[in-house]
A and B are shown apart, each in its own frame.
Chain A
């Protein structure tokens, strides 16, 4: 019988604490947190996202999501105009009017997020108080929450973090007079594709973790309850604030790498199993066939990706786990890994698995980073859509990074799909060149 062998850093890796990270400031070519609405509105289907901002914010969200044709849009913007800028008292009344108009039109909405933006933050419109005030009016029909997706405070996936942090504050805790509801032992935190959730559920069941819940849930009403011994497992690397809220509630984080690739997924489940004292032999029994199948599927992509070099522009904070997977499991050569923000604690397990010679950068000065990228001449560049086509036109092969946050990529059975996302542009280039 095999034993689960804990992941060992390879000889050329070094500890995260002594790693040099290039910190850059300058023009940042990234999305703001409002963009999170694009996938959050699908995940929580009875929620509505009302951005309080300017026409720019409205334009951003519709430029990103408006290619889909909506019979009933699930997001909107309360556009601040020059009358609102004149006085704050009016702005609150105006907001109440707009929310009323919206909820009259859409009686099916169960949860409304008031989403802060740069303009609303700069004029210091207090949306959290507005959410409290409006909640009193609309309870119990609609719950009204608030978070900020502004560009000045949040980068891209941090919008999900802010949203989930607001939602986490709603989680009922033990020792309170909530209606009896089962407390969960394990909370899996971060938006996952439905199919990934279902696979993970089956694995947790097989492992024998009986009491668990995914956060956020698919319906806004299904909120899990924390017990005195609840642990949580982050499924995404960008959940700094959400984790803090859970910590404050007394939940304990299970440190683990992220469930990307075979290795990452195995380590992620192993960390959970260890936290609940599950017999490692049992874990191995459950994991082994899945590991084997996933490795088999990865083989085809390894032939495309092995030895190719890759450069990451900062975007989603998924860069480090992705780079770890592509390097260790597919043999890709890492050049620079750019991240908008590095949470050293949440990424400690990941950083330990990275080779020592890779350059890490936090923040961005896009022109300088482009110069570095061009000088590396990598086989593949992971970047946002503002850079992708221009770089393709320069002869570089790119993988647009946003796709990675709305494709099922976590878990054993998605490992090959994830690799394929990176192989596809290379395969395509070869096909079109032939």
Chain B
């Protein structure tokens, strides 16, 4: 049992729903108790879809448990088939139905429907949403592609002369963070390079499209969390290579174009393609100088976290002080990425651990998911969202990709927005007693609605922990130091966004040197020792 304040991923059947809902001609019969239809809201409200997800739930109740829940499932499958006439039927169980073990796959097979039935085994007490999506997509690709598998030993035929190179785009789903616009941006990029898109899947694909995947020359994998296992199977059985670069950020988009050109065996003028981009110039312009070495903590799914760290470090000039993911499947990649910044990756799906790490690190900016926004509010740290889980405001009406050159433009605006702007930051550092622009006030460009807290509360929050005097006198090893009032006053003159770090550094400095009290001098000694 695990105490979970917020969960980063839903159960695996939500992942399966994301595949079914993304596609056309697919229906999903889900053995689940009454109430699990809440999942429809994810699509109709959070993603604001205008149709019901293609999911039929058995919605059994307590009184059904005494009876024949298997029969209930068969009825639901039969009537869903008759009503919706899908080209493919997915069947599976939710967490509660997994406990009663009715075997939806076997029951559906017994119905002898005249369409392919994809039985899903998604262990709800071990696996989570992204795994569920990846597994569902993989099983579907395998089932619909197996007839086209190359015989052992046979190599893929080279592309016929005169035909343009073609690829599949794999990974975008329903309820994906900016999948809609990423897809538009990448499609446009591929068109500009001269690569034809064979199939996009699962988003918008029909089962018959899935069986055409083998016709492409290679695969573009946009979201490894969802598409990696399917791409591996396609590579093994059809000899299709796939892209490894995630085109998030200016540099990564350039690298992606190079990778695509190599796979497609064509040339293109990258400099011409980058003309639309503004992010790089914006970051170079002097207004952005104050962003240098802002301390940033990054957490999200592996793909977005790794990409964000690269952008933060190389394109924004931030200092990455923390990097982590809840995607255990891609933990190795995140660890590797973290080591480039000289830090240890945080691999966890425990919200409380993330909160603790952020508290320790006291970053000036958090790039995370909806869940990190809760932490950021508690710790009063600016925050921007870079990854699912997300809520309704991150399915915007406007065009807002994360990928490609326009994506890089969006990232620049989104990440800089929550930070206090340069002039205000300078003036707050100089004059601390202004009645309007004070320490506790939120950045004024966020409007008057965003009161960080009252000035008093801000002071309380930053107040050094007082330690009883006995602890100082008894000669035991110093594990905590007491702030002298004068030093404490001086600490409060440090601008709030670096104060947390300054406090921690000074206390660490004092403890390492065995100083029982922190004086004004200790504060400045520590400052000289650590630097900014």
Contacts and interface: CB of A to CB of B under 8 A. Distances in A.
Contacts of B7: 55, 58-59, 62, 77, 79
B178 interface: no
A155 interface: yes
Interface residues of B, number: 61
Contacts of A73: 5-6, 374
Overall SS of chain A's interface: helix
Interface in B65-119: 65, 76, 79, 83, 94-96, 99-100
Given A27-B58, A66-B6, A122-B96, A151 B35 contact: yes
A56 B10 contact: yes
A81 B3 CA distance: 11
Contact of B33 (A29, A97, A118, A393): A118
Nearest to A84: B1
B3 A70 contact: no
Interface stretch (B121-129, B134-142, B161-169, B414-422): B121-129
Interface stretch (B45-53, B228-236, B501-509): B45-53
A118 to B, nearest CB: 4
A121 B62 contact: yes
B474 interface: no
A150 B50 contact: no
B35 A119 contact: no
Contact of A389 (B5, B50, B377): B50
Contacts of A56: 10-11, 13-14, 36, 94-96, 124
A49 to B, nearest CB: 12
A78 B3 CA distance: 5
B463 interface: no
Given A56-B95, A60-B38, A27 B370 contact: no
Contacts of A63: 10, 38, 41-42, 46
Interface string B7-42: 101110110000000000000000001111110111
A344 B7 CA distance: 40
A79 B65 contact: no
A67 B391 contact: yes
B96 A81 contact: no
Contact of B126 (A60, A76, A81, A392): A81
B3 A102 contact: yes
Contact of A385 (B3, B44, B128): B44
A21 interface: no
A216 to B, nearest CB: 23
Contact of B50 (A34, A121, A393): A393
B65 A122 contact: yes
Given A59-B14, A64-B38, A102-B3, A389 B49 contact: yes
Contacts of B9: 55
A77 B62 contact: no
Contact of B34 (A54, A67, A151, A384): A151
B31 to A, nearest CB: 12
B113 to A, nearest CB: 18
Size bin of chain A's contact surface = 35 or more
B4 A67 contact: no
A256 interface: no
Given A32-B35, A56-B10, A78 B44 contact: no
A37 to B, nearest CB: 13
Contacts of A67: 391-393
A32 B2 CA distance: 22
A122 B10 contact: no
Contacts of B399: none
A72 B45 CA distance: 25
A94 interface: yes
Contacts of A122: 65, 96, 99-100
Given A27-B76, A386-B44, A389-B44, A79 B2 contact: yes
From A26, A78, A151, residue with most partner B Cβ within 10 Å = A151
B1 A76 contact: no
Nearest to A392: B50
Nearest to B59: A28
Given A122-B65, A151-B34, A389-B44, A54 B2 contact: no
Given A28-B59, A151-B34, A151-B36, A91 B46 contact: no
Given A118-B95, A389-B50, 16 more contacts: A27-B37, A29-B37, A30-B34, A30-B35, A56-B13, A56-B124, A58-B4, A60-B38, A66-B389, A71-B378, A72-B378, A78-B2, A91-B1, A102-B3, A105-B352, A386-B40
20 contacts: A28-B34, A54-B125, A55-B4, A56-B36, A58-B7, A60-B35, A62-B389, A66-B391, A67-B391, A67-B393, A69-B377, A73-B374, A76-B5, A79-B4, A79-B7, A101-B3, A152-B65, A155-B35, A389-B45, A389-B48
- Closest 8 interchain pairs by CB? A32-B35, A151-B35, A386-B40, A393-B50, A94-B1, A54-B95, A118-B96, A59-B10
Interface of B: 1-7, 9-11, 13-14, 33-38, 40-42, 44-46, 48-52, 56-62, 64-65, 76, 79, 83, 94-96, 99-100, 123-126, 128, 352, 370, 373-374, 377-378, 389, 391-393
